[in-house]
Structure 1
Amino acid sequence: MSTALLAFIATFALVMAVELPDKTLVATLVLTTRYRAAPVLTGVTIAFAVQTVIAIAFGSALTLLPDRLVSVVVGVMFGIGAAMLLRAGFRTGDEGEEDAMRAGPAPVSFLRAGTTSFAVLFTAEWGDASQLATAGLAARYAQPFAVGLGAFAGLACVAALAVFLGKKIRSRIQPKLIQRVAGFVFAGFATFAFGAALLG
């Protein structure tokens, strides 16, 4: 097996394993309950492509950042995300909006939904485990194209799965429940990140 193929397979498998239970799936799932699937998938896929290029380009530099600094920044991002999701999930008086979300995606333009999806995932992926893993694997294998392709393929697969699930469950689950669960998941990640910064 060539080094390039090994780098691709190792990166793809690692990114899939890291991202399936991670915020990427949750955030994309929530976005799909609010917007049409096509712009969400387009936006998050572009965000993943840009973040993968950044991780590859700065692979060795990212792995040299102080662990505590990375943990604090990640903790703050998760904390902000948790606050936003929980505020929306526990807001009262939005029964009409909730019914509309269950009925279908919001009537917004493709560009707006895609841009929102890009911004959410682009921000969420900074300092993410998969980004750091991609940077580390790029430095280890010295195969930036294969590692980048493997990371992007893994992220795109997770996003496609989240969009598919979001379309299927939109009519079966309360959107506010998804937001609450996502908010608590983000809060857990924030707590873990701050704990890592304190113990590091």
Structure 2
Amino acid sequence: MFSLSVAAVTFGVIFLAELPDKTALAGLLLGTRFRASFVFAGVAAAFVVHVALAVAAGSLLSLLPHRPVQAVVGVLFLTGAVLLLRHRAADGEQVRAPRDTSFWRVAGAGFMLILAAELGDLTQIMTANLAARYDSPLSVAVGALLALWSVAAIGVLGGRALMRRVPLRLITRIAAGVMLVLAALSFREALGG
């Protein structure tokens, strides 16, 4: 069953965590060199694969006993918050651009870049955690996918303007704060039943 509140929570958590990530910067770089719609098509397709894998993993976790899973989810959220606070964007990271600027080449480059960069990434782990926490894989998938697509669109279409207005450090701290709250809620469920 679809839950709008689960989708909204998932959207917020994943959006904030992904915004300061290298993906937005890679999308921005590709978007400045190539047709934005081509880049976004490839990036969006990669995120579909990314979310499907994460939700499948999280759904498998939800089959395990509830209290131990919540304890593990709490630890993972806490770890994610720490990693976000310690994360520093890599400077000078280069994205190799395709020579051919056709739709398939540009979209393929965006797809492969995001698929490789995001496999096992913090937001994929967070999506799996959310799928394990809530018994609504569709809601988590929709929220995560919309968040990732939104960040990709921001990166491809206007990342520079956003980063001038909102400090990256503030976005990172907000995302870490949300993850700390989710960790506390998970620990409370693990201890209280």
TM-score range, shorter chain: 0.5 to 0.7
Query: How do residues 113-132 of structure 1 correspond to structure 2 at under 5 angstroms?
Result: 113-132=106-125
TM norm structure 1: 0.60
Deviations 1:145-200 (A, max 9, x none): 0000000000001111111126x88xxxxxxxxxxxxxxxxxxxxxxxxxxxxxxx
Deviations 1:54-84 (A, max 9, x none): 00011266897xx8xxx9xxxxxxxxxx698
In structure 2, what is the Cα distance between the partners aligned to 1:165 and 1:23? 15
- Judge conservation of contact 1:11–1:137 (CA < 8 Å) in 2: yes
Cα gap change, 1:114 to 1:16, in 2 (>3 Å): same
Q: Unmatched 5+ residue regions in structure 2?
A: 62-68, 81-89, 162-193
User: Cα offset for 1:34?
Assistant: 2.2
User: Cα offset for 1:33?
Assistant: 2.0
Query: How do residues 48-59 of structure 1 correspond to structure 2 at under 5 angstroms?
Result: 48-59=47-58
- Judge conservation of contact 2:60–2:132 (CA < 8 Å) in 1: no
Cα gap change, 1:87 to 1:132, in 2 (>3 Å): closer
The one of 115, 118, 133 equivalent to 1:140 is 133
Match of 2:86 in 1: none
Letter in 1 for 2:108: T
- Judge conservation of contact 2:58–2:132 (CA < 8 Å) in 1: yes
- Judge conservation of contact 2:2–2:138 (CA < 8 Å) in 1: no
Deviations 1:78-105 (A, max 9, x none): xxxx6983598xxxxxxxxxxxx9xxx9
- Corresponding pairs, count: 143
TM norm structure 2: 0.62
Letter in 1 for 2:139: A
The one of 74, 85, 109 equivalent to 2:93 is 85
2:101 aligns to what SS in structure 1?
Answer: coil
Give the root-mean-square deviation of aligned CA atoms: 3.7
In structure 1, what is the Cα distance between the partners aligned to 2:18 and 2:95? 25
Match of 2:24 in 1: 25
Q: Unmatched 5+ residue regions in structure 1?
A: 72-81, 89-100, 170-200
> Which consecutive aligned stretches of 4+ in structure 1 deviate over 4 angstroms post-superposition?
60-64
1:108 aligns to what SS in structure 2?
Answer: coil
Match of 1:193 in 2: none
Deviations 1:113-154 (A, max 9, x none): 000000000111112111111100101101000000000000
Give the % identical residues.
40
